[in-house]
Structure 1
Amino acid sequence: MKNAETPVFKLALLGGLSSLGSALMAELLKRQHEVIAVVDDLNSLAPRPGLHFKTGGLDNPDQAEQSVAGGSAVICLLAALAPDDFAAQLRMSQALIAGMARTTIRRLLLVGDFDVLDHSEGHSEQQRACADQIVDLLQRSPLHWTLVNTPQQVAGLGIEHFHQTHGTLEPGLAEPLQRLARVAAAMVDALELKLHHGEHVNFVF
């Protein structure tokens, strides 16, 4: 049950059909926030109380602005939108940052392959250059941003799985499911408690 001091977000979520996106939707709805899931197909998920859908994307700043409109904060899962395509992730980030700058929305959690910022081994020069450019764009923007490393994900996990993180689960799913649920909870904590502004974080559990 919420009290008068608990902030309520209407969260615009891009990349919500991934396993981390599903964990985030479940966590946000559990805390009675509203979620606007930006999707290609409005029939991608069954309706739930507090969960809304709109079509959109990050092809350009105009589309990005329309996609996040109506939200009070944004979470964008870059690695879910363009897996291993770092140039595409950079283009999407450019569109999102420019689009959000036109709105009153200032809070952004940007989730991607940002481990390269701390550990260059095993990463390409292109990946490093793209990550550096994203950081530069954010630092020059008016946004209250947080960069989050993409956690290891498991294909095929949907929002219904995260409503039963204990109990009967397929073999091998319990640990990754609970780990992703904890990462999602930490990300929502960062929103609610206004943590990690201007920081690069890696939630490890």
Structure 2
Amino acid sequence: MKNAETPVVKLVLYGAMSSLGSALMAEFMRRQHEVIAILDDLTALEPLPGLRTKCGDLFDAARVRQSVAGGDVVACLLDAPGLAMGLEQQENLLLEPREQVRAVEALIAGMQTAGVRRLFLVGNFEVLDQPEMEAYPDRQAAEAILDALQGSTLRWTLVNAPQSVSGLTLEHFSQPAGSLPPKLDEPVQRLARVAAGIADEQQLNLHVGEHVNFVC
């Protein structure tokens, strides 16, 4: 049962099929918020209270506008496998650096048109603090993404992608702490803390226009 005093936040999530995506879904639903997962395959997630799925295409600004419309905050996990690309069959593809830039440009355009301003963008942004990486594609893509965000009207936060473990699902993050095998419990708790940190940032309106790293 929802607490009537809890303002419901609608999170639009790109990258729901990743481990951090599962952690974010679990954390926002635990806080009695709603999650809208943008997927190519609408049957990839079982229906749950507070969870909806929508089709989308992260490379198409018009599709982004349709997907995020009505949301309060968007989280996009650029390093997640299987990001929504409007494909008939889901593929666990990872975006190359230049593809990430294109995706963010479409995301910005779609969000601005839809009037959704708050964005958490998770990716390989630690390279922004590594001058020796200046000539590498990852650093160049991160700088291009930062420039695009700074030229937008969005209220954005860049988040360094945490070390992830494949195969973790929403069910893992819904278990009581300490109930999983040790080899799973540590990454689940670590990713859960990152998800809680992002949820806290959203709730408290922290680090807008900044680049953050959650140390867990």
Q: Aligned to 1:100, which of 88, 111, 130?
A: 111
Shift of 1:144: 0.4
Q: Distance between the aligned counterparts of 1:57 and 1:189, measured in 2? A: 28
Greater shift in the superposed pair: 76-85 or 91-100: 76-85
Residue 58 of structure 1: aligned partner: 58
Q: Give the letter for the 1:138 counterpart.
A: L
**Offset at residue 92 of structure 1 (A):** 0.4
Task: Using the TM superposition, give the Cα deviation of residue 170 of structure 1 relative to its aligned residue in structure 2, in angstroms.
Answer: 3.2
Aligned to 1:87: 98
Q: Please report how far the alpha carbon of residue 159 of structure 1 lies from its aligned counterpart in structure 2 after TM superposition.
A: 0.3
Q: State the partner residue of 1:160.
A: 171
Aligned to 2:189: 178
Consecutive unaligned residues of structure 2, counting only runs of 5 or more, are 84-92
Equivalent residue of 2:183, what SS? coil
- The alignment status of 1:200 with 2:211, answered yes or no, reads yes
Which stretch shows the higher mean deviation, 127-136 or 77-86?
77-86
Q: How many residue pairs were aligned?
A: 204
Letter in 2 for 1:65: R
RMSD (Å), alpha carbons: 1.6
Q: In structure 1, the residue corresponding to 2:13 is in which secondary structure?
A: strand
The answer for the alignment partner of 2:12 in structure 1 is: 12
Amino acid at match of 1:200: H
Q: Which amino acid aligns with 2:77?
A: L
1:35-85 per-position Cα deviation (integer Å, ceiling 9, x unaligned): 000011110011100000001121221121112122111000011036361
- Where do residues 17-166 of structure 1 align in structure 2 (5 Å cutoff)? 17-80=17-80, 81=83, 83=94, 85-121=96-132, 125-166=136-177
Gaps of at least 5 residues in structure 1 are none
Output the CA distance in 2 between the equivalents of 1:146 and 1:115: 13
CA distance in 2, matches of 1:170, 1:79: 26
CA shift at 1:8, angstroms?
Answer: 2.1
Distance 1:193 1:165, change over 3 A: same
Q: CA 1:40–1:84 in 2, change beyond 3 Å: closer, same or farther? A: closer
Instruction: Give 1:183's aligned amino acid.
Output: V
Contact 1:165–1:174 (CA under 8 A) maintained in structure 2 = no
What is the percentage of aligned positions where both structures have the same residue? 55
Decide whether the 8 Å contact of 1:14 with 1:76 is kept in 2: yes
Partners of 1:64 and 1:201 lie apart in 2 by 25
Runs ≥4 residues deviating over 6 A = none
Matched letter for residue 58 of structure 1? L
The offset of 1:119, in angstroms, is 1.8
CA shift in 2, pair 1:47/1:115, >3 Å: same
What residue identity is the alignment partner of 1:128? Answer: R
Say if 2:133 and 2:139, in contact at 8 Å, map to a contact too: no
